[in-house]
Structure 1
Amino acid sequence: MKKYDFIIAGGGMAGLSLAYYLLQSPLRDRRILILDRDQKNRNDRTWCFWERDPREPLSPRINQRLAATRPFESILFRSWKSISFHGTTYSGLLDMGRYRYKMLRGIDFYSFMEAELAKWPNVEQKQATIQRIKDTPQGGFIIADDEPYIADYIFDSTFALKLDQPENHNLLQHFKGWVIQTKSPCFDPQRPEIMDFRVEQHGDCRFLYVLPFDEHTALVEFTLFNDTLLTDAEYEADLRQYIDRYLPTGGYVICETEYGVIPMSDEPTQENPSEHIIRIGTAGGFTKPSTGYTFQRTQRYLQTIVKNLTDTGKPNRKEPWFKRRFKFYDSIFLNVLEKHRYPADDIFTRIYTENPRRVFKFLDEDTYFLEELRLFATMPFWPFLSAFFDVLRRKVVG
C-alpha cells in the first residue's frame, strides 16, 4: 500500500487549486496524489466572480483576501469593468466601483493546472473511481479502483451532502447555457448582462446571463433558483424564447453547451469530520448558500488551510465566531426564496440598485456590521422579518 503525505480526492476546481497552493508553499516537496474519475480535458464549466481591481490601493484586510484569485489572472477569459442588469424597476448599468466582473473557462483552468503540476515529480495524478474513504490511526485511508492508499491527510471534495433535512433550506441553482455565434453583430463586448429577469418567473427566481466574447459571440445562460430541475426541452425553450425576443441575432448557431446544478443549502457541513480527513469544495461548505458562488470562496479557504498546515502542521481552518453571522443571513435569504415570501426578481432589483458597490462587498462577506444594516434596510421588511423568525424556529427550536 503506497503512502503519501497528502491525497486529494477529486481533481476538480477545489482539488487542483489545493494542489497548486501546496506547491507554492514550503510544503512543495511533499508526496501528493490526486485521484479523479474523469479526465479534465474539455470545457465543461465556466466560473464567474467579481473582485476589486488589484491595481487599486485597498485596506490590508481586503488586500490579503484578494490575493486568493490573482494566481489565475493570466488565464482569465474575460474581465469587465461594467455590467448591466435588467430587473423589475431598473434596466441599465450597475455601479461596480472598483470591482471587476471576471470569467474563467474550465478548459483554461485545467490546462494551466496540468502544466503546473507537470513541473513536480512528487505529484501523481491517477484517473480512478473512489470507492471508500475512512480515517484510521495511521492516517487517512482510501480505496480507488480496488487499490488502497494511505496519507497523513486526505482532502476530500467528493463527499455528497444530504440536501433533504427538513430543518435546513435546500434549494438548487441550476442552469443551461449556450455559446452562440450570430450573423448580426448584436453584443457589446464591454457590457455583460449578469441578471436579466425578462422571463416568466413561474413563482421562482429565473433569469438570464449574457456574457459577450465579441460582437458576434456570447454565452447565454438560463439560470433558476428553486428545488425542481427542468427537462432539457424546458431549459432550451426558455433560452430560445429569450434569444428570439431580446437579441437581434439575424440567426445563430450553437457552438458549445454547458449545464450544471449547484446546491444552495444551509445544511451544516463538517470541514474536519475526523483527524486525517478534511472536506473541501462544496463538500466542505465552500459554496455560498444564498448565491451558489464557489470559486472565489474556495480559493480563500484553501489558502488559509495551506497556511495553517505550513505554520502548525494541521490544516484545520477556524472561522471567527462573529463571521458566522453570514451563514444566518444566507438562511434568511433562502427562507424568503423557499417560502415565496416576496417576488425574487424584485428582491434582486432592490439589492443591486439600492446598494451600489456595497452589494459586491456584502456578497463577498467583506462588509462590516453597520454596512450590512444599511443593506438590510433596503429589503422588504415584513417578508424578511417573517423569514428571520422562521429560521430561528427551524435552526434553534427545531
Structure 2
Amino acid sequence: MRKYDFIIAGGGMAGLSLAYYLTQSPLRDRSILILDRDVKDRNDRTWCFWEKEAGAFESIIFRQWNQVNFHGTTHAGALNLGDYRYKMLRGIDFYEFVQTELQKWPNIEFRQASINRIKETPQGGFVIADDEPYIADFVFDSTFSLKLNQPENHNLLQHFRGWVIKTTTPCFSPNLPEIMDFRVDQGGDCRFVYVMPFDETTGLVEFTLFNEQLLTEADYEIALRQYISQHLGAVSYDICEIETGVIPMSDEPTQENPSEHIIRIGTAGGYTKPSTGYTFQRTQRYLKALVTNLVETGKPTRKQSWFTKRFKLYDSIFLNVLENKRHPADDMFTRFYAENRPAKAFQFLDEDTRLVDEIRLFMTMPLLPFTTAFFNVIRRKMFG
C-alpha cells in the first residue's frame, strides 16, 4: 500500500482547485493522488460569480459583464456593479485547463475509481477506492454528504434545469445577463429564471427554485419553454446543452476537520453559501486560505475570526424567512438588490462588509418577517 503526502477524494471543482493551488505553492513537489469515479470530459455545469480583480482562472472566463439585469416586484432594469464583474466559467473549460496544468507535475497521480470508505487512522487518512487501499498524511474529502434532517436547522434545496439554446432570430442582449427574473409563476416558492447570453442568438436559460421539493422533469421543461416564448420571444430554437443540479441551502453545522488527517472541502466542508447556494468563488477563497495555512503551519485549516460567525446567523434568518414563507421571496430579493448598491450587496454576500454596512442593509428588509425569523432561529438553535 503506497503512502502519499495528500489524497484528494473527489476530482470535481473543489478537488481540482485544491490540487491547482498546491502546485502554485511551496508544496508543489508533494506526492498527490486524485481519486474520482468520473472522467471530467464534458460541460456538465456552469459557474457564475462576481469578482473585482482578475482571478486564478481569468484566462478561461467564458463571458464577463459590468452590469446585470434584474426583474423583481418593484424594479426592472440594469444593476450597475461598480468595481465588480459578473463572470461566467464553463465546466469543460475549467476541467481542461486544470487537468492540463496538473499533468505537468509527475508527482500528481490521477485514478478513476469509486470511493468506498474514508477513515482516520493513527498513520494518516485511509481511503478505500474500488477495494484498493490508499493512505496519506492528509485526505481532502469533497465526497462527504450531510444528513439534512436536524429539526433545529433549516434545510432547503436550490434546484435548477438549464438549456443552452440557439435561436433562429436575435433574442439575447449580449452585454446584459439576467441575474434574476421573477416574471414566472412563483407557486408559493422562490422561483426565477437566469439568462446568460453568449451572443445575440445563443445563451443559457436556467429555471431555478429555492424550496424543499424537486419538480418533475416535465415541470422544469414547461417553465423553460414558457419563459423562452414569452420573455425572449423565441419561436424556433435548438437545445444545444442541458444542465441540471441540486445544491443544499442548509445551515447544518459542518465539520471541516472531523479528524486529524481528514479535511472536508467544497460543499462537504460547508463552503456553499447557505442563503444563496453560491459555491465557486467561496471555494476558491477558502482553498487558497487553507493552502496558505498548510504552508505556514503544516496544518490544513482555515483561520477564522469568531466575529465572522455572525454571517451564519444572517444565513439562518434568511433561510427561516424562506422556509416559513414569512414574506414573498421575489419582493425580498428585489429589496436586497434594488434598495442597496449592488456592489455593497455582493460585498455582503462575500462576507466582507462591516457591521454598520450590514445594519443599513437589514433596514431595507421587511421588519416584521425578519424580526420573527430572528427569534425563531434563536429558539430553534437553543431548544431544538
Category of TM-score, reference length = shorter chain: over 0.9
Matched, 1:291 2:255: no
Partner residue in 2 for 1:368: 354
Partner residue in 1 for 2:189: 204
Between the aligned partners of 1:89 and 1:312, the Cα distance in structure 2 is 51
Matches within 5 A, 1:1-398: 1-54=1-54, 70-356=55-341, 357-398=343-384
**Percent same amino acid among aligned pairs?**
73
How much has 1:186 moved relative to structure 2? 1.4
Between the aligned partners of 1:285 and 1:305, the Cα distance in structure 2 is 14
Q: Give per-residue Cα distances to partners, 1:178-210, cap 9 Å, x unaligned.
A: 000001111110000000000000110000011
Letter in 2 for 1:383: P
How much has 1:164 moved relative to structure 2? 1.4
CA contact (8 A) 1:180 1:256 kept: yes
CA contact (8 A) 1:10 1:36 kept: yes
Question: Any idea what SS the aligned residue of 1:141 has?
Answer: strand
Question: Any idea what SS the aligned residue of 2:56 has?
Answer: helix
Between the aligned partners of 2:235 and 2:14, the Cα distance in structure 1 is 40
Between the aligned partners of 1:175 and 1:75, the Cα distance in structure 2 is 24
Between the aligned partners of 1:89 and 1:71, the Cα distance in structure 2 is 37
How much has 1:316 moved relative to structure 2? 1.8
Question: Any idea what SS the aligned residue of 1:92 has?
Answer: strand
Between the aligned partners of 1:307 and 1:71, the Cα distance in structure 2 is 15
Letter in 2 for 1:39: V
Between the aligned partners of 1:223 and 1:201, the Cα distance in structure 2 is 11
Letter in 1 for 2:116: Q
Q: Give per-residue Cα distances to partners, 1:133-153, cap 9 Å, x unaligned.
A: 000000000100010000000
Question: Any idea what SS the aligned residue of 2:213 has?
Answer: coil
Q: Give per-residue Cα distances to partners, 1:46-101, cap 9 Å, x unaligned.
A: 000001145xxxxxxxxxxxxxxx11000000001110000011100012111110
Letter in 2 for 1:340: K
Q: Give per-residue Cα distances to partners, 1:254-291, cap 9 Å, x unaligned.
A: 00000000000000000000000000000100000000
CA contact (8 A) 1:40 1:110 kept: yes
Aligned residues: 383
Between the aligned partners of 1:198 and 1:2, the Cα distance in structure 2 is 56
Question: Any idea what SS the aligned residue of 1:393 has?
Answer: helix
Q: What TM-score, normalized to structure 2?
A: 0.99
Segments of structure 1 that go 5 or more residues without pairing to the other structure are 55-69
Q: Give per-residue Cα distances to partners, 1:335-373, cap 9 Å, x unaligned.
A: 000000000000000000001121111011110000000
How much has 1:396 moved relative to structure 2? 2.1
Q: Give per-residue Cα distances to partners, 1:8-42, cap 9 Å, x unaligned.
A: 00000000000000011000000000000100000
Partner residue in 2 for 1:61: none
Segments of structure 2 that go 5 or more residues without pairing to the other structure are none
Q: What TM-score, normalized to structure 1?
A: 0.95
